[in-house]
């Protein structure tokens, strides 16, 4: 790749992470999932090499890079078949929000652990009755003396069982209705009143999803990260990196599936030539490759804008990157499975489960339709239907 798009350091990071991914690979993750455990060995090794906190400030133990670097880490692990989903929430959302809006004490308390991977933080915004419309969330924080007391419900929150804390998005009692004025709270896993129930997902991933109940969860004053009146800016400081990282997750998965299909199409021969010589097999794979490359270009643009401090332009680009990557991933996986014929559906080749996994990047953290709505309204200036 041209250094115009990625610096020499970024390219070196890409190769180093790819080498780490290759040492673990799909077989490692398949075993971890089958044994119902977590990819702790890979997490620990990536942590030791400084990859998990590559985006966090050096003063707090991070690598001093940005979302551009962290997205490289996730994409390359994904392309090797062993993505670490918690990178999307722990260093990318929670780490960024705390680094940008936390007090000095909060930064010292949380960032070193997030940077060296010894601490993981989940992120909870989605609610059962709000879904895509975050303005309808009802998780409410009321003051009680110096404390905060949180009440509400969350759904589909990833990794709460392994995360030491979850960064919960709520609203204060004073701003209970109307346009969302979000405020964010760090909730330790074992806090009284903080309950979780695993959701039975048809997804084969190491990280599980949970429904959360917050039943009068009492938190100290310093659990609040940022200003209770800061509005959407500090929330999107975390959500835009999340979109870039979801794009990286999708591109990595698409690349992994595509590489398996190409390998297969080169060898598998049922007529005179390997099936990859038939253009009906080759062209869709070539298209999938082009779509993934284009999505990566938009992801790099979004990461660059975000890292240079242009939150508004980054928001638009991050949405488009997430959309493009999600679509490219779904198409690449579908085509890969098809290329393998019957083997596309065997456990031995392990591609079929990616069909479900690929759909996640179309739905979360913001669905394809909500991005199309965003571009219709914000970019094209078309009227709103809702
Ligand atoms: C595997 C997985 C992991 C997740 N992890 C997390 C996590 O860690 N933390 C977290 O907070 N959340 C998480 N989520 C939740 C995810 O962000 C939500 O599922 C997503 O935002 C969509 O919300 P919903 O499921 O309620 O769908 P809904 O909002 O109910 O939408 C259903 C359908 O209606 C469409 N739709 C809704 N409104 C409109 C409209 N105005 N115009 C057109 N179409 C519309 C949507 O596009 C979608 O197709 C996760 C989800 C999954 C599947």
pLDDT digits (tens, 9 = 90+) for 200-212: 999 989 999 999 9
Residue 38 belongs to a domain? yes
The contacts of residue 279 (CB under 8 Å, 6+ apart) are: none
Range of the domain at 59: 8-119
Q: What is the pLDDT of residue 128?
A: 97
**C-alpha distance from residue 126 to each of 86, 112, 136, 378 (Å):** 16, 27, 10, 23
pLDDT of res. 181: 85
Is residue 327 located within the same domain as residue 247? yes
Q: How far is the CA of 254 from the centre of ligand 1 (A)?
A: 21
What is each CA distance from 106 to 42, 62, 229, in whole angstroms?
28, 15, 18
Answer whether residue 359 shows pLDDT above 60: yes
Q: Are residues 129 and 140 in the same domain?
A: yes
Structure tokens at 151: 């009440």
Q: Pick the atom of ligand 1 nearest to 365's CA.
A: 17
Q: What is the pLDDT of residues 111-170, one digit of tens each?
A: 999 999 999 999 999 999 999 999 999 999 999 999 999 999 999 999 999 999 999 999
Same-domain pairing of 100 and 170: no
Tell me: do 258 and 351 sit in the same domain: yes
> Tokens in use for 384?
């709103």
| pLDDT of res. 381 | 97
Q: Is residue 1 part of a domain?
A: no
Q: Residue 353: pLDDT above 90?
A: yes
Question: Atom 48, ligand 1: which residue's CA is nearest?
Answer: 367
One domain for residues 373 and 240:
yes
**Cα(271) to centroid(ligand 1), Å:** 45
Task: Kindly state whether residue 386 falls inside one of the protein's structural domains.
Answer: no
Distance (angstroms) between ligand 1 centre and the Cα of 75 equals 22
Q: Which of 94, 363, 371, 378 to mutate to test the pocket of ligand 1 (most atoms within 8 A of CB)?
A: 363
CATH of the domain at 328: 1.20.140.10
Q: How far, in Å, from the CA of 178 to the mean position of ligand 1?
A: 20
Which protein residue's CA is at the shortest distance from atom 43 of ligand 1?
A: 369
Burial 284-317 (b: 16+ CB within 10 A, else e): bbeebbebbeebbebbbbbbbbbbeeeeeebbbb
The CATH number that applies at residue 211 is 2.40.110.10
The verdict on 239 and 352 lying in the same domain is yes
Tell me what pLDDT residue 370 has.
97
- On whether both 259 and 278 belong to a single domain, the answer is yes
Domain-located, residue 371: yes
Between the CA of 373 and the centroid of ligand 1 the distance, in Å, is 14
pLDDT band at residue 184 using 50, 70 and 90 as cut-offs: very high
Task: Note whether residue 166 is domain-resident.
Answer: yes
> Do 236 and 371 reside in the same domain of the chain?
yes
Are both 258 and 207 inside the same structural domain? no
Which of 119, 143, 174 is the last residue before a domain boundary? 119
Mean pLDDT (the chain, rounded): 96
Per-residue pLDDT for 374 more than 60? yes
Dist. CA 156 → ligand 1 center (Å): 9
Q: Is residue 384 part of a domain?
A: no
Atom from ligand 1 closest to the CA of residue 88: 8
Phi, psi of 103 (to 5 degrees): -75, 170
Provide residues with CB under 6 Å of ligand 1: 89, 123-126, 131-132, 156-158, 203, 209, 360, 363-367, 369-370, 373, 386
119, 150, 176: which is the final residue of a domain? 119
Please state the rounded mean pLDDT for residues 314-328. Answer: 98
pLDDT at 180: 82
Distance 60 CA to ligand 1 centre (A): 33
User: Best of 97, 132, 167, 202 to mutate for ligand 1, by most ligand atoms within 8 A of CB?
Assistant: 132
Q: At what angle are helices 67-79 and 279-307 packed, to 10 degrees?
A: 160
Q: Which of 134, 155, 235, 365 to mutate to test the pocket of ligand 1 (most atoms within 8 A of CB)?
A: 365
Point out which residues pair with 212 in neighbouring strands.
Answer: 154, 196
Task: Kindly tell me if the per-residue pLDDT of 2 is higher than 80.
Answer: no
Closest CA to 61 of 44, 75, 47: 47
Domain stop point among 225, 258, 287: 225
Q: Give mean pLDDT, residues 14-39.
A: 97
- Ligand 1 atom 36: residue of nearest CA: 369
From CA 158, how far away is CA 281, in angstroms rounded?
Answer: 36
* Same structural domain, 199 and 62: no
Residues 218 and 319 in one domain: no
**Cα of 132 from ligand 1 centre, angstroms:** 5
Ligand 1 center to residue 334 CA distance, Å? Answer: 22
How does pLDDT run across 217-241, given as a tens digit for each residue?
999 999 999 988 877 888 988 999 9
Atom of ligand 1 nearest to the CA of 386: 41
**Strand pairing report for 147-158 and 182-188:** unpaired
3-state SS string for 73-129: HHHHHHHCCCCCCHHHHHHHHHHHHHHHHCCHHHHHHHHHHHHHCCCCEEEECCCCC
pTM exceeding the 0.85 threshold for the entire prediction: yes
**Alpha carbon of 322 to ligand 1 centroid (Å):** 14
Mean pLDDT of 76-100: 97
Whether omega before 365 lies within 30 degrees of 0, making that bond cis, reads yes
**Overall number of domains in the chain:** 3
């Amino acid at each position: 790749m041209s250094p115009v798009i990625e610096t020499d350091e970024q390219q070196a990071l890409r190769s180093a992470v790819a080498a780490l991914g290759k040492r673990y690979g799909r077989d490692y993750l398949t075993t971890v999932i089958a044994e119902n455990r977590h990819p702790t060995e890979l997490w620990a090794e990536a942590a030791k090499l400084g990859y998990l906190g590559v985006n966090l400030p050096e003063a707090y133990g991070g690598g001093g890079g940005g979302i551009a670097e962290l997205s490289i880490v996730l994409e390359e692990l994904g392309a090797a078949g062993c993505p670490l989903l918690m990178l999307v929430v722990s260093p990318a959302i929670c780490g960024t929000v705390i680094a940008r809006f936390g007090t000095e004490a909060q930064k010292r308390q949380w960032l070193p652990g997030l940077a060296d991977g010894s601490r993981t933080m989940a992120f909870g915004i989605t609610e059962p009755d709000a879904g895509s419309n975050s303005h309808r969330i009802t998780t409410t924080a009321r003051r009680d003396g110096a404390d905060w007391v949180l009440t509400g419900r969350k759904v589909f929150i990833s990794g709460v069982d392994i995360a030491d804390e979850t960064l919960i998005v709520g609203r204060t009692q004073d701003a209970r209705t109307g346009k969302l004025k979000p405020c964010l709270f760090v909730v330790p896993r074992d806090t009284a009143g903080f309950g979780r129930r695993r959701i039975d997902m048809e997804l084969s991933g190491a990280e599980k999803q949970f429904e959360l109940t917050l039943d009068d969860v009492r938190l100290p004053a310093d659990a609040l990260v940022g200003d209770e009146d800061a509005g959407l800016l500090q929330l999107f400081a975390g959500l835009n990196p999340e979109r870039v990282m979801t794009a990286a997750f999708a591109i990595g998965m698409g690349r992994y599936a595509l590489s398996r299909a190409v390998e297969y199409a080169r060898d598998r021969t049922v007529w005179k030539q390997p099936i990859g010589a038939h253009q009906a097999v080759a062209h869709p794979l070539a298209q999938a490759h082009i779509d993934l490359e284009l999505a990566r270009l938009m992801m790099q643009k979004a990461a660059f804008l975000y890292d240079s401090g242009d939150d508004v332009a980054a928001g638009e680009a991050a949405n488009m990157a997430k959309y493009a990557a999600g679509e490219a991933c779904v198409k690449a996986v579908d085509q890969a499975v098809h290329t393998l014929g019957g083997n596309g559906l065997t456990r031995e080749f392990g591609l079929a489960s990616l069909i479900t996994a690929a759909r996640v990047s179309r739905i979360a953290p913001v669905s394809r339709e909500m991005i199309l709505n965003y571009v219709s309204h914000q970019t094209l200036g078309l009227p709103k239907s809702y």
